[in-house]
Amino acid sequence: MRFKRFLPILAGIGMFIILGLPGCTVRQDAVIKADGSGTLQFNMSLMPFFVETIQDAADAFGAQDMVKQGRIFDLNQIKADFAKKKSVVLTRVASPAPDKLEGELSFSNIEKVFQDEKELAQTGVVKFSSEGNKKTLSVSLNKSNIKQLTALFPVLSNPFFEMFMPQENEKITDAEYLEMIDFAFGAKGTPGVQASFIELKVTVKGTILSQSGGKQQGNTVTFSIPLLRVLLLDKPLEYSIVFTG
């Protein structure tokens, strides 16, 4: 996979998980209806040190032309990738600055987005269920199911990205991981990772009965996840919203 496709796919349909790299912050606003349909607006911002890393590596990964043109995100490739997906539609995508990517997705059923990929169907990464008028949306990410995500996000099999992902049988401390980040990205790597978050704001069309892992305000729950916790997965990440609609 060419490096110019590496970052764009990260801002794709993984609306709840691993939408970050060391040196970026991802913010997403999702609206979920009672039937599981909805929309997701996403905004990715890269930190300067990570942009510099991309620019330095451009020649090695065949992306030198894009970098020379002041571009990091290949919008045409993003559109082509989403055109292959059955259960999610890219309704808007833009890169207002070289270090920024934003857009909007729509889907008819959020769980089906993941179930359409055979490798992911049984992993339980995202579940949406109904029991009468009660709806439950849950997200579960751990070292066991993260490998299957390559079916949905081929970029995860890229060696450059894979070396930063959690290894199922490996235990590594925060300090050891940050030392590796500093080796890869220089002195700015550690503060960059520590300042990076995945933020997801979910608004449901209904009344929230309960939630876990986030902060609720009205019919909206905000999940703010330090990127380091996603990259290490030393503990499973579990989030849920139960609502009526």
| Low-confidence winner among 3-17, 109-123, 225-239 (lowest mean pLDDT) | 3-17
Report the alpha-carbon distance of residue 183 to residue 100 in Å, rounded: 25
Range among 104-113, 178-187, 199-208, 220-229 rated most confident: 199-208
Mean pLDDT of the chain: 76
Least confident among 33-37, 58-62, 69-73, 143-147: 58-62
DSSP H/E element including 139: strand 134-141
Return the number of other C-beta atoms located less than 10 Å from residue 108's C-beta. 15
pTM for this prediction: 0.77
Question: DSSP secondary-structure letter at 125?
Answer: S
The domains of the chain are located at: 3-244
The C-alpha atoms of residue 70 and residue 98 are separated, in whole angstroms, by 6
- Predicted confidence at residue 199, as pLDDT, reads 86
What percentage of the chain reaches a pLDDT higher than 90? 27
The predicted-structure confidence for 100-142, as pLDDT tens digits, reads as follows 889 999 999 988 877 776 665 666 778 899 999 999 999 888 8
In the sheet that holds 197-204, the strands lie side by side as 88-94, 100-107, 38-46, 24-32, 197-204, 220-226, 215-217
Give the H/E segment covering residue 7: helix 6-10
pLDDT: which is higher, 191 or 70:
191
For residues 128 and 38, is the Cβ–Cβ distance under 8 A? no
What is the band of 152 on the pLDDT scale with cuts at 50, 70, 90?
Answer: low
Question: By mean pLDDT, which of 35-39, 54-58, 85-89, 109-113 is the weakest?
Answer: 54-58
Under DSSP, the state recorded for 56 is H
Interior CA angle at 10 toward 7 and 232, to 5°?
105
User: Among 107, 86, 87, which Cα is nearest to 42's?
Assistant: 107
Strand runs labelled E in 150-234: 197-204, 207-212, 215-217, 220-226
Q: Which two tokens stand for residue 71?
A: 């571009």
Q: Give the model confidence (pLDDT) of 195-215 as tens digits.
A: 888 888 999 999 999 999 999
Res. 191 pLDDT band, cuts 50 70 90: confident
Q: Mean pLDDT throughout 55-67? A: 58
